[in-house]
Structure formats: structure tokens, C-alpha cells
């Protein structure tokens, strides 16, 4: 039976109330600093929260059932019987939390994405194109996405490949036990050989751009293998459950060591780190994965077809091997097209995060024949303007070096924040009630966000100008552009932004006049690969989407705990600003505690320090809506676009199905991945 239900209500005000953007009541702290105005137009939904053991368990069956597709391969002698393909105790989805019950096998699920597969070496940081591909392939030790449905007091990371774990009494070691007998999609056993390779030859090897930073679990952390299915992390100092969140997607995803070791310089003297990183090109299929589906066809810029993994280690309570769909495809087009196709019914899934589509989506909701229903969540998507705070990383001229010193001056960052007219920015993206100003850091829909913690330097162009005057940034040559002090160069600043996301483009365009109004000349720098610039540090300002919701997640991405992070302050060590040192201490506190209320308190401190020091210039924030075609069953009501992880993880795609009568033909019927 479902656990005691806890109704967790957000303020209920449907986004369909197309009211004007309310005048923002300004509030302030005792120190006279303004804080972010309360958000009155937040859309609402009611989520019934359950216990952490109510979603799945690990349990064996005497006999397993399988899809007709894999059965056909067993009958042809190409696969062992299903009972021999399953682990000792498979991951088992609980029917109570499957709103449309036990599923039916068959058909295809259609994703549309804007990313493109770089390659399949996710251990070396390669992306497979986002939009659900990465998450589908990179099964991790722990799992965060479904936590949106778990009572906050139980919302520690969930088991996945690691089925359970135990802390030592002094919390200086963590013993983890893997699911026993799970196999990679080529039948090879998944065991601690894969964990050893992931940790020692990737995370700890500074030559490998692993998603989990080397010291993400705390400097000095070591791995001790205890057996084929158990291992131990040993820490220099006591740690808490936030460590488990670092072992979720993406950093906590092991790779197939039997395939990848021969490509790695530590095991192959002919290999280089470059040949290793590129050793699993997106053109060579099938690959070996622990995920529910195996890529079998990749047509560049067109389509990726993935077929069910016959060794997938998950079942439902009737011992049916998951997933239910035989196939999932990814149409490789654009992020905006993902929403367009979901609204048109030619795609099955979209995180509607482009507010330019919102009004159309709301209109369509009124049509009973619409293929999707847009249910808006809370404000979980935000956009920030970042300044490159590194003194020298990526600097290529004396001018840039001087700019960086300006960016490192909090007064300059306050001036830029005061220059941003966020109401105009929001309305330039989409007319309607969707936007609220953002102060940076946690988004308003985060359980860790409190408006009184968000110090807000709101729109005040004259205030911005007087700060800049005070910094000696006068227009010394009378050409209408301020100059660096002492008759220095004109203040001309490049602003990087995505060229593939219409919201980012509109925000960058809207910012131009706001910079010019304070005597700074912006030069927009659109790119279809902004990661390349943030990786090499060759940028000055960057407008991008941010979505920091959970304090314990990706601490290393958003707080300066390693030299590689955050993206807006990559450095060569010893470059932190005083307030960043404070953020590091708070981050260590989050990693060290087991007390969720202490995490919440540290998160409040972080938000105050981040926003008072304008770590990033928050611009606007908006709700998002998850669009899933009505033919898809077990789409749990209330699943957010993003909370602890993207909806592609949160909605638990391994449970989704379409009844036979509505199933769509597969692109590759009767086909499974076959390995040489
Ligand atoms: C969701 C997500 C699933 C990455 C990516 C993309 C990359 C970033 C971010 C989002 C896409 C979709 O986001 O926009 O709705 O499907 O993939 O992974 O923006 O460029 O680097 O962090 O998640």
C-alpha cells in the first residue's frame, strides 16, 4: 500500500491566468539590502509524496517473462534464456506507484532533441546529445530524478546500481554493495572491476575530463575494493549523504571496463589520452551499456535508433523484464523543435523550457484532441549572466586581464545587475505572467529557496551609472563608451550565448540596449557550442540557462570546490575571492553532514553569500511544463521538468508503455543490437 500520503502543495495559481507581470513589491533585509520580491504568479500543482521505498525494491523471481522480441532471439539461439540474463535480485518497480499499472510490450518511443552525440566515452566527459540519451545510457550508482516524489525528510539519494550502502560509525568510510549479477548489454558481468576503472583510471586521472571532479567526494578520498560486488570509499574526514548525490548521473556512471581498458593509456602503451577520449566514436555502433536501450543506428544530424537491452536488470512486480518499449528513437533536430513536435503529436516528450511556446501550449490545452496537456510546474528554469571571474584562465590580452579585474570587483557586478531591466527581458521572450526576476543561485521553485535569502540588485540604470562613475570608468575620449581608468581602452565586452536556443538569443538581444544605457559596448558572441568556450576560458560574459534546485546536487559544478568549477571561475588554483572561500566552507559542510535540516541551513547561507556578492547576475526565471504524449502510460502526474534531475530521469522512462492498440511501428522491427 502506498505510504501515508503527504500533500505537498505549491501555491495554486494556474499559469493560464494570463495576468500582467505584477508590480514587484520591493522588500529588504535589516542591512538595507533589497531582497528578491515574493513570487505571486507561481503556477501550482499538488504532488502526493511517498516514502523512499515505495517506488522500487530489489527482489528475485522464480521465473522471468520477456518481450516477444528478445524471446525470438532466444529461440534463434542468439541469446541465453531470460532467467540466465537477469541478476540475482533485479531492480523491481512497485505497481502501486505505476498509475497505469503493469505495461504491455512493444512499439517505439519518440524523442526529439537539439543536441548531437559527441561520442560514447562518457567516462571522459563526452555527451551523447542530452535530451535523455545521456541519461538512458549512463546508469549511475545512485539516482536522484525520482526524488521529486519522495517526502523531503526521506529524500536522500536513491539506490540504483548500488543497491545499498552503509556508513562507518565515524562516517569516514562508506561501504557500497552493487546489484549482483547484472550484465552489460553484451552479456559481460558488471562488477567492481568496472568501479575500479571508473574511479582510478578516470575520476582520479587528471588527464581524463571525467564528469566527476577528482576531489568531488573530498580531497584524499580513496577507493577500496572489497569483493566482486562491494567496495568502500575512505575519507579524510567525516562525510554525509551529500556524497551519495555526487555518485548519481552524470559523475557516478561507470563504463564497460572490458571494452574501455584496452583504449586507456594506463593499460595500453600505444594509446594516448586523446585517442582514449575519442575511442568510442558516435559512428561505431552498437555500444555496450547498462541502460534500457542500446544505440544501433546513428544517422548524423538526423536520427539515433536504440533497441531494448536484453540484459536490462530491471523488472516489474509481475517479473516482466523492463523496459516495455522495444525501441526508442531520437530525432536530431533542435530544442525548440522538440516542443513543436510534442505539441503537434509527432514527438512523445518535451521539457517545454522555451517560454516563447507557452501561450500556444496553453491555448492547445483547451483542445480535448490535443496530443499533449501542458501542466506547468513551479519556477525551475532560470537564466543568468555570468562574468568570467578568473584572473588569468583563458586571458589572451592585457585588456582582457584588466577586464577580469573589473569583473572581480563586486561593485562592478552590482552595477551590471542594476542595469538589467528584467521585466523588459521577460516580456521580450514571451508576453504573459511566466517570468519573475532572478537573483542568481537557487531558483524560486527549489525547496532550498527562500526569497529573503536572495539579495537583489534590481533595475536601476542611474544607480548603475553612478557606481561605474565611482569606479573611475569615465568616457574619457567622448565617444559615448566608458573607458578603463586612466584613459584606458573603451569598455567593449563580448557576451557569449547559445545560438540554438531562442530564449537565450532573445535575452542577449534585449541586454544590448541595457549595456549601452550604462556606456558599455556589448559584442554578442552566439555559439552552437558554448561548452567549448567555458572549457577553455576564452570568454568575458555569458548569458545561459541555469537551474540550481537541489543544494546537494552537483556541488562541484556550482560552487568553487575544485579548480575546474564553476564554469564562470575555472582557474589554475589560488584565485578565489574571499566570499568564494566562504562558499567552499559551506560546500564542505554540506558534504560532511547527514542532517537534512543542516543542509537546508547551509543552503540558505550559500544563497545569501552568492547573491549579496553577485556571483552570477540573475536575470529571469520561469516555470516549465513537461509535455508527454497522451498515448504514453505511467506518466506520473506532477513529474517536474527539472527538480533533482531532468524529467527524463524523474519520470522513470523504464516504466512507460503504450497499450497495443496505440503502439507506433518500430523503425527497426525484429532487431536487437548484435555484437561481433
Ligand atoms: C533536458 C536535458 C537532459 C546540459 C542540456 C543542454 C546542455 C547542457 C543540459 C533539457 C538538455 C535539454 O539540456 O535542454 O530540457 O532534456 O538536455 O540532459 O542544455 O547544453 O550542457 O547541462 O542538461
Question: Residue 377: its pLDDT value, please?
Answer: 80
CB 314 within 8 A of CB 656: no
Rounded distance from Cα 130 to ligand 1 centre (Å): 5
Question: Residue 26: its pLDDT value, please?
Answer: 52
Rounded CA-CA distance 189/310 in Å is 13
Rounded distance from Cα 407 to ligand 1 centre (Å): 27
Pocket test for ligand 1, best of 135, 646, 651 (most atoms within 8 A of CB): 646
For residue range 537-555, list pLDDT tens digits in order: 999 999 999 889 999 887 8
**Phi-psi domain of 199 (left: phi exceeds 0; alpha: psi -120 through 50; beta: other):** alpha
Query: Which ranges of the chain have pLDDT less than 70?
Result: 1-31, 40-46
Supply the residue whose CA is at minimum distance from atom 10 of ligand 1.
131
Rounded distance from Cα 653 to ligand 1 centre (Å): 17
Supply the residue whose CA is at minimum distance from atom 23 of ligand 1.
130
User: How many whole angstroms from its chain centre is CA 218?
Assistant: 21
Rounded distance from Cα 191 to ligand 1 centre (Å): 30
Does the C-beta of 646 come closer than 6 Å to ligand 1? Answer: yes
Supply the residue whose CA is at minimum distance from atom 5 of ligand 1.
130
Alpha helices in 239-357 (DSSP H): 242-246, 257-260, 273-277, 335-344
Does the C-beta of 349 come closer than 6 Å to ligand 1? Answer: no
Does the C-beta of 498 come closer than 6 Å to ligand 1? Answer: no
- 530 CA closest ligand 1 atom index: 20
Does the C-beta of 500 come closer than 6 Å to ligand 1? Answer: no
Supply the residue whose CA is at minimum distance from atom 15 of ligand 1.
351
Pocket test for ligand 1, best of 129, 130, 338, 646 (most atoms within 8 A of CB): 130
Helix, strand, or coil here: 357? helix
Supply the residue whose CA is at minimum distance from atom 4 of ligand 1.
130
Residue 548 DSSP label: B
Question: Residue 40: its pLDDT value, please?
Answer: 64
Rounded distance from Cα 115 to ligand 1 centre (Å): 8
Give the DSSP per-residue string, 199-237.
Answer: IIIIIT-TTS--SS-TTTT-TT-EEEEEETTEEEEE-SS
Rounded distance from Cα 258 to ligand 1 centre (Å): 29
Does the C-beta of 126 come closer than 6 Å to ligand 1? Answer: no
Rounded CA-CA distance 547/442 in Å is 7
Supply the residue whose CA is at minimum distance from atom 6 of ligand 1.
130
Please tell me the pTM assigned to this model. 0.86
Rounded distance from Cα 287 to ligand 1 centre (Å): 22
Read off the C-alpha cell for 501: 536556443
Show the beta-strand stretches assigned E in 16-55: 27-28, 34-35, 46-49
Question: Residue 359: its pLDDT value, please?
Answer: 85
Question: Residue 472: its pLDDT value, please?
Answer: 96
Question: Residue 20: its pLDDT value, please?
Answer: 31
Rounded distance from Cα 228 to ligand 1 centre (Å): 34
Question: Residue 13: its pLDDT value, please?
Answer: 33
Amino acid at each position: 500500500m502506498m505510504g501515508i500520503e503527504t500533500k505537498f502543495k505549491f501555491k495554486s495559481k494556474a499559469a493560464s491566468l494570463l495576468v500582467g507581470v505584477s508590480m514587484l513589491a520591493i522588500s529588504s533585509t535589516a542591512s538595507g539590502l533589497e531582497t528578491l520580491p515574493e513570487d505571486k504568479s507561481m503556477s501550482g500543482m499538488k504532488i502526493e509524496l511517498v516514502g523512499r521505498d515505495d517506488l522500487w525494491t530489489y527482489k528475485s523471481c522464480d521465473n522471468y517473462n520477456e518481450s516477444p522480441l528478445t524471446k525470438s532471439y532466444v529461440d534463434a539461439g542468439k541469446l541465453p534464456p531470460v532467467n540466465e540474463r537477469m541478476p540475482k535480485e533485479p531492480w523491481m518497480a512497485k505497481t502501486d506507484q505505476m498509475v497505469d499499472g503493469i505495461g504491455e510490450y512493444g512499439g517505439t518511443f519518440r524523442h526529439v532533441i537539439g543536441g548531437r552525440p559527441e561520442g560514447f566515452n562518457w567516462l571522459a566527459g563526452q555527451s551523447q546529445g542530452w535530451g535523455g540519451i545521456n541519461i538512458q545510457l549512463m546508469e549511475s550508482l545512485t539516482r536522484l530524478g525520482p526524488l521529486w516524489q519522495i517526502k523531503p525528510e526521506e529524500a536522500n539519494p536513491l539506490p540504483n546500481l548500488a543497491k545499498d550502502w552503509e556508513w562507518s560509525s565515524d562516517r569516514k568510510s562508506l561501504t557500497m554493495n552493487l546489484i549482483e549479477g547484472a550484465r552489460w548489454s553484451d552479456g559481460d558481468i558488471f562488477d567492481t572491476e568496472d568501479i575500479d576503472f571508473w574511479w582510478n583510471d578516470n575520476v582520479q586521472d587528471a588527464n581524463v575530463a571525467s564528469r566527476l571532479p577528482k576531489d568531488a567526494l573530498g580531497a584524499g578520498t580513496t577507493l577500496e575494493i572489497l569483493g566482486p560486488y562491494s567496495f568502500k570509499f575512505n575519507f579524510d574526514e567525516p562525510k554525509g549523504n551529500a556524497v551519495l548525490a555526487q555518485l548519481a548521473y552524470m559523475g557516478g556512471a561507470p563504463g564497460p571496463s572490458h571494452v574501455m581498458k584496452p583504449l586507456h593509456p594506463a593499460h595500453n602503451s600505444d594509446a594516448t589520452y586523446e585517442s582514449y577520449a575519442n575511442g568510442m566514436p558516435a559512428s561505431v555502433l552498437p555500444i555496450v551499456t547498462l541502460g534500457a536501450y542500446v544505440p544501433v543506428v546513428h544517422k548524423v544530424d538526423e536520427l539515433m535508433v536504440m533497441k531494448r537491452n536484453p540484459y536490462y536488470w530491471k523488472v516489474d512486480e509481475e517479473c516482466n523484464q523492463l523496459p516495455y518499449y522495444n525501441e526508442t528513437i531520437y530525432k536530431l533536430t533542435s530544442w525548440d523543435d522538440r516542443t513543436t513536435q510534442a505539441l503537434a503529436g509527432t514527438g512523445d516528450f518535451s521539457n517545454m523550457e522555451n517560454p516563447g511556446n507557452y501561450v500556444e501550449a496553453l491555448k492547445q490545452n483547451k483542445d480535448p484532441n490535443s496530443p499533449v496537456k501542458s501542466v506547468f510546474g513551479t519556477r525551475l528554469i532560470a537564466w543568468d549572466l555570468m562574468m568570467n571571474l578568473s584572473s588569468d584562465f583563458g586571458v589572451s590580452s592585457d585588456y582582457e586581464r584588466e577586464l577580469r579585474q573589473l569583473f572581480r570587483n563586486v561593485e562592478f557586478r552590482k552595477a551590471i545587475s542594476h542595469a538589467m531591466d528584467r521585466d523588459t527581458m521577460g516580456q521580450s521572450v514571451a508576453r504573459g505572467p511566466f517570468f519573475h526576476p532572478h537573483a542568481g543561485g537557487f531558483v524560486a521553485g527549489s525547496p532550498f529557496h527562500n526569497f529573503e535569502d536572495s539579495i537583489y540588485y534590481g533595475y536601476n540604470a542611474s544607480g548603475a551609472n553612478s557606481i561605474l562613475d565611482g569606479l573611475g570608468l569615465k568616457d574619457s575620449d567622448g565617444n559615448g563608451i566608458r573607458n578603463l581608468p586612466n584613459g584606458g581602452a573603451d569598455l567593449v565586452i563580448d557576451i557569449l550565448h547559445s545560438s540554438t536556443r531562442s530564449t537565450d538569443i532573445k535575452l542577449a538581444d534585449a541586454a544590448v540596449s541595457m549595456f549601452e544605457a550604462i556606456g558599455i559596448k556589448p559584442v554578442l558572441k552566439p555559439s552552437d557550442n558554448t561548452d567549448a568556450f567555458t572549457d577553455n576560458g576564452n570568454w568575458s560574459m555569458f548569458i545561459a540557462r541555469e537551474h540550481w534546485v537541489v543544494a546537494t546536487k552537483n556541488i562541484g559544478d556550482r560552487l568553487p570546490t575544485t579548480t575546474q568549477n564553476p564554469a564562470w571561475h575555472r582557474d589554475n588554483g589560488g584565485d578565489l575571492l574571499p566570499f568564494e572561500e566562504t562558499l567552499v566552507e559551506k560546500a564542505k559542510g554540506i558534504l560532511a553532514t547527514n542532517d537534512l535540516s543542516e543542509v537546508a541551513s547551509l543552503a540558505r547561507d550559500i544563497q545569501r553569500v552568492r547573491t549579496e556578492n553577485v556571483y552570477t547576475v540573475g536575470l529571469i526565471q520561469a516555470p516549465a511544463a513537461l509535455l508527454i504524449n497522451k498515448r504514453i502510460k505511467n506518466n506520473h502526474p506532477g513529474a517536474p521538468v527539472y527538480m533533482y534531475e531532468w524529467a527524463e530521469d524523474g519520470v522513470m522512462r523504464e516504466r512507460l508503455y503504450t497499450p497495443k492498440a496505440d503502439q507506433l511501428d518500430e523503425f527497426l522491427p525484429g532487431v536487437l543490437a548484435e555484437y561481433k
